[in-house]
Amino acid sequence: MSTPADLVVHARWIIPIEPEEAVLHHHAVAIRNGKIVSVLPSELARRAIDATQVMDLPDHVLLPGLVNLHVHSAMTLMRGIADDLPLMRWLNEAIWPAESAHVAPAFVRDGTLLAAAEMLRGGITTCNEMYFHPDAAAEAFDIVGMRAVVGAVVIDFPTPYASDAADYLRKGLAARDRWRGHERIRFSIAPHAPYTVSDESLLRARMLANELGLPLHMHVHESADEVRESIATHGRRPLERLAALGMLGNDFIGVHMVHVDDRDLGLLEHHGVCVAHCPSSNMKLASGIAPVARFDAASLCVGLGTDGAASNNRLDLFQEMRHAALLAKVSTGDASALPAHAVLRMATLAGAQSLGLEAEIGSIVAGKRADLCAVDLSGSLMRPCYDPASHLIYVAGREQVSHVWIDGELRVNKGVALLQISDKELLSVATLWQTKLAN
């Protein structure tokens, strides 16, 4: 008796992530009601699955949808306005003044629409968002059908969005309440950074995260200046301060984690902290190289993030995978550090685990949501291909992404995004905001 399915996708290779380092040749994924129902050899699938639709991808790799573990989506509207500056000058002289002048719900919605379209085209199906006006960001992610964890940002100083930490939390939690129960939109508590959030505000953030069962998402140890300032102001390094406040745990996503010593690593390991590694942003702002090989050796959960387009300047996880692998090798002097399958896991299942979504996404396993990405290796630039996992890290780019599904629904078809908003409209949005920010 055949098994019914809405869609069966046949691929030359499937990299399911689970089990580790598996590469399935000439296999198929059967999908029904937005979930994966089986992964099986193509020959068997053609006999055993009664599918409404069948898609053949004879020269493609099928993998889980990518998870962008750290992004400021609306900052896509500030792409390139403040290049070639160190972190604190970049923030103080360019980013914060621009945000004070322009950030509002329309800015966030429009910038997030641009970012979501870019991410989807590059195979990213889930992102971990941190920015102002989370309600507007959630609206944009919903319009394009993307999965997102939206941060309720906490900062002590006033902005046009909120007056103080309590106001940030009040507004963020109100947004969370409006989106509660949504299939794809969830929330986190997102204190900005140790140098912008007081002990009192951090304790309040931790209490709410515990009470509501939400992850904590925070920049930590991004720059050497941040560490020096913390020692001068608080008498301890940022991670030591956070540990003393009870902030750390396996629900804590520490973004960047560049400047980490042995004591810091011990704290990360002891508390099971998750790390969002953003190699391109760290390089561009000259923040340094995160010791990801040491994190991996300590069995920390490490995912990949793009950061915002104002500091990267691409929302491109293929770029992040390649940079993560190469930086790990050159920084350790070990060419075997962070091999291809380990990097693929960082971009998929590790990101899902960091967000508490590993039961739903991150690997191609029966019962999980059908968030999938297909990469076309048919072109001459992609040949010969001896190892598809290696190709995904060292050869292919986001331009080879051909198809993307979220909950089994096709969002990118043959490289063309299937969105409720057209490219023409997105270009108009970008032009409008460029004019405003340039004046």
Q: Are 145 and 406 in contact (CB under 8 A)?
A: yes
Q: With pLDDT > 90 as the criterion, what percentage of the chain qualifies?
A: 92
- Which CATH class for the 66-354 domain? alpha beta
| pLDDT exceeds 90 at position 87 | no
User: How far apart (Å, rounded) are the C-alpha atoms in residues 188 and 151?
Assistant: 5
Interior/surface letters 230-246, b for 16+ CB within 10 angstroms, e for the rest: beeeeeebbbbbbbeee
pLDDT tens digit sequence for 115-164? 999 999 999 999 999 999 999 999 999 999 999 999 999 999 999 999 99
- Calculate the average pLDDT of the chain: 96
Amino acid at 280: S
Return the pLDDT at 1.
63
Task: Quote the CA–CA distance of 38 and 31 in Å, as a whole number.
Answer: 7
Whether the per-residue pLDDT at 366 is higher than 90: the answer is: yes
pLDDT (tens digit, 9 = 90+) per residue, 246-293?
Answer: 999 999 999 999 999 999 999 999 999 999 999 999 999 999 999 999
Evaluate whether 394 touches 325 at the Cβ level (below 8 Å).
Answer: yes
State which CATH number among 3.40.50.12780, 2.102.10.10, 2.30.40.10, 3.10.105.10 fits the domain covering 3-64+369-407: 2.30.40.10
Mean pLDDT of all residues in 86-94: 85
* Tens of pLDDT, residues 388-416: 999 999 999 999 999 999 999 999 999 99
pLDDT (mean) for 359-366: 98
- Provide the whole-model pTM: 0.97
Band (pLDDT 50/70/90 cuts) for residue 439 is confident
Q: Where are the domains of the chain?
A: 3-64+369-407, 66-354
